[in-house]
Structures are given as C-alpha cells and as structure tokens.
Amino acid sequence: MFSKNMSNLTTVGSSRLFPQGEGTLLATGSYDGQARIWTTNGPTLDVDWRNNVSFATSSTDNMICVCKIEETRPIKTFAGHQGEVNCIKWDPTGSLLASCSDDITAKIWCMKQDKYVHDLREHSKEIYAIRWSPTGPGTNNPNQQLVLASASFDSTVKLWDVELGKLLYSLNGHRDPVYSVAFSPNGEYLASGSLDKSMHIWSLKEGKIVNTYTGNGEIFEVCWNKEGGKIAACFANNTLCILDFRM
C-alpha cells in the first residue's frame, strides 16, 4: 500500500525499488518531467506493470496490491499466501496475475474476484521466480497454449496449464536452486538459470534439455533478445554473458 499522494497523472516511463530501506521505497519517473518517491508498508519484493497506468506489487507481508497511479490507495488487494511473495507477473494480455511465494505455492489471480483462481502446489521448496509464455490469444503466438513456468529452490522448473490449474511438466536437470526462467519469443524454448552455475535450454515440445551453458558463478537472471537468437545470463562473479542460440 502506498502512503504518498499519488499525483503522477501522466505516463510513467520507469520505476525502480530503492536498495536502501529493505525495499520500502519505490521511485517513478514520468513524462511530465517529475520523479517521485513512494513509501510502502513493508519491504517490497517485486513490481510488475499491467499497463501504462496500473501495476501490481508484492511484499514480505504476504500481500499483493494492484495500484493505479492516480489513486491514493490500491484498487485491489489479494491475500492468500502464507509467506512472503517473491515474484508477480501479469499474463501477456493483463487478464491474469501470477504470484509465487516462500509458502511453496504459486497462485493465479484475476481482477474479477478476491480469491485466487488456481493454487499451484507441486514444488517442495520456496518458489523464487515465475514467467508467462508469450503465447495464447492476444499474443504473437495465438495458436500455442498459454502456460506458466515456476522456478524453485527444489532445483526444478515446472510448467502449468493455467486454464485447468494442473501441472504439465516437471523439468528436472539442475542440481541447485533455480533463480530465473525465461521463454523464447516464439514460446518454443525455455531458459533456466541456477546456483549450480548452469543455464539449461529446454524444448517445450519435447520437455527435455537441448543445450546447456556452464559458467564460473551462480546464475541469477536469464533473458532472451526479442529475435530469440541470443540469451543473456548474469553470474554471481560479476560477469554478464551473451550467448548465441540456434536450433
């Protein structure tokens, strides 16, 4: 929940959490030439924009808030997790919001109801990251199924059928916690980065590893370029690697 008067009444181009204050400050910059600082009730762990004027936040108080920049209070709050909420992500159309938590669950929410739509329980340890596939109605890949990927400290990545709330695949290949996952732009591949110093590339059609890259440090973040031919990985030894990917 935000305590400052939310007077940004123009397009917000950027937002960042402050590293000081345990994540309780959020900075926004907008096209009206103003930069503003907002305070939150508890340490904020993630922010994801739904569109140009609304966004969701998650925090260590187990809550999720959906906010609008001209409103002084959240327009929606979601309660259901029993541990801090590590990551939140809107689906490609902004219709569904996914969350994951230290309570070992991922959940899917929609703005039309207060209770979660699906409660996803197949991991055995904390879930650190989630990502939606760039597929389904309203995307560039409309004929492919919309799925959700979750990365956990149990060393697995799981893929979920978001319509039924059921597990599709469990991707087992890492030896240590998985910190990051990212779908290729065409939705056919998934990259996963782990503390085991490896990044796996998975074929979603086959459910198996098609390539592995190993570095000299733990991997905390992976992402694709928009063409899908390169993958970036951030390592704990202060290096960033950009890798070519061709199939």
State how far the Cα of 224 lies from the Cα of 138, in Å rounded to an integer: 21
Number of domains in the chain: 1
Instruction: Tell me the pTM.
Output: 0.83
Three-state DSSP class for residue 183: strand
Domain harbouring 224, CATH code: 2.130.10.10
Domain annotation covers residue 212: yes
Task: Tell me the one-letter amino acid at 173.
Answer: G
Residue range(s) defining the domain that contains residue 168 = 129-244
Instruction: Answer yes or no: are the C-beta atoms of 43 and 59 closer than 8 Å.
Output: yes
Domain annotation covers residue 83: no
Domain annotation covers residue 207: yes
Q: What is the pLDDT along the chain (247 residues), one digit of tens a residue?
A: 344 444 444 444 445 554 445 555 565 665 666 656 566 566 889 999 999 899 999 999 999 999 998 888 899 999 999 999 999 999 999 999 999 999 999 999 999 999 999 999 999 999 999 999 999 988 989 999 999 999 999 999 999 999 999 999 999 999 999 999 999 999 999 999 999 999 999 999 988 999 999 999 999 999 999 999 999 999 999 999 999 998 7
User: Which of 95, 81, 80, 84 has the alpha carbon at shortest distance from 50?
Assistant: 95
Q: What are phi and psi of 97, to 5 degrees?
A: -120, 125
State how far the Cα of 232 lies from the Cα of 225, in Å rounded to an integer: 8
Q: Tell me how crowded residue 20 is: count the other CB atoms within 10 A of its CB.
A: 8
Domain annotation covers residue 102: no
State how far the Cα of 117 lies from the Cα of 109, in Å rounded to an integer: 5
Domain annotation covers residue 144: yes
Domain annotation covers residue 214: yes
Domain annotation covers residue 72: no
Task: Tell me the one-letter amino acid at 208.
Answer: K
Domain annotation covers residue 180: yes
Strands (E), 74-215: 76-79, 85-90, 96-101, 106-110, 118-120, 127-132, 147-152, 156-161, 166-172, 178-183, 189-194, 198-203, 208-214
Q: What are phi and psi of 55, to 5 degrees?
A: -155, 165
